[in-house]
Amino acid sequence: MIPAPFDYVAPSSVDEAVQALAAAGEDAKVLAGGQSLLPVLRMRLAAPSTVVDLGRIAELRGVREEGDTLVVGAMTTHYDVQRDPLVAEHAALVKEATDTVADPQVRHRGTFGGSIAHADPAGDLLAPVLALDSALVIAGPGGRRTMPAAEFFQDYFTTALAPDELLVEVRLPKHTGWRAHYEKFNRVAQAWSMCAVAATVRTEGGVIEEARIALTNMGATPVRATAVERALLGAPANAETIRAAAAHAAEGTSPAPDGNSDVAYRQHLARVLTGRAITAAVG
């Protein structure tokens, strides 16, 4: 199907992009990698008055260090995130999750920030960003503001972004030396997750000193499994401890039933996958 007519703007800076969004009003859409937006346009599930293409804004690409933080530009592709040595060293959980995103074609075009701003609860990058206590930098007409990931995701496909604002970068606190694993369950390869678990842990002398666990597609937003984290804290990194901690994984979740599973099954998946993810993370 052919999209409905729209105006097309391709700014060369963040300021120009913000001005374009402000001028277009609430009917504008932002084009990053296009892996989510273009199918929606072609099916006419969305008919924006203006599409603002961020592809020419070089400052939104790349990964850099700032002290104890990794800064990932919103337009950095999944492919580049996968292969960045800084991400592998300091944010292994993000690399683990990015490796599972769709297929190579999508990873070459899709963007880190675009996936996060799209806020699909089944998307694979939201839970790692939440688990790592990341901060999101937003640009708007009034300047830039920084927001914790826990406040950014608000509902299904809904974030704290105003219509005239852009996500410009994601700030990941370094988790150097932490081991990580992203455990994903789907019916067929490259499909959205029915449930997935992002787990990263720091161990010392066989004891779990710290743990960060978050769940994909177990609610309207990514869910932090704080009860699991508390159960792991200071405990020996063995099968018994992990099994007991993983039993808490479904607490506080509210997955929506769909054609693949009901609520009880998804919560069962959360417990099983959490155990697998932690086991893999601690080795």
Task: Give the model confidence (pLDDT) of 143-165 as tens digits.
Answer: 999 999 999 999 999 999 999 99
Quick: pLDDT tens for 43-94: 999 999 999 999 999 999 999 999 999 999 999 999 999 999 999 999 999 9
Q: Does domain 1-54+62-172 have CATH number 3.10.450.50?
A: no
- Torsion, Cα of 241, 243, 248, 250 (10° steps): 150
pTM, whole model, 2 decimals? 0.96
Residue 1 pLDDT grade (very low, low, confident, very high; cuts 50, 70, 90): confident
Q: Judge residue 223's burial from the number of C-beta atoms within 10 Å of its C-beta, 0-12 exposed, 13-18 middle, 19 or more buried.
A: buried
Residue 62, phi-psi category: left (phi > 0), alpha (psi -120 to 50), beta (remainder): left
Residue 188 pLDDT grade (very low, low, confident, very high; cuts 50, 70, 90): confident
Domain boundaries, the chain: 1-54+62-172, 179-282
Residue range 179-282, CATH number = 3.30.390.50
pLDDT for residue 109 is more than 80: yes
Distances (CA, A) of 153 to 34, 88, 157, 251: 20, 25, 8, 19
Average predicted confidence (pLDDT) for the chain: 97
Q: C-alpha 157: how far from its chain's center?
A: 12
User: How long a stretch of residues is the chain?
Assistant: 283
Residue 189 pLDDT grade (very low, low, confident, very high; cuts 50, 70, 90): confident
* CA dihedral sign of residues 259, 264, 267, 272: negative
* CA dihedral sign of residues 67, 68, 74, 77: positive
pLDDT of residue 6: 97
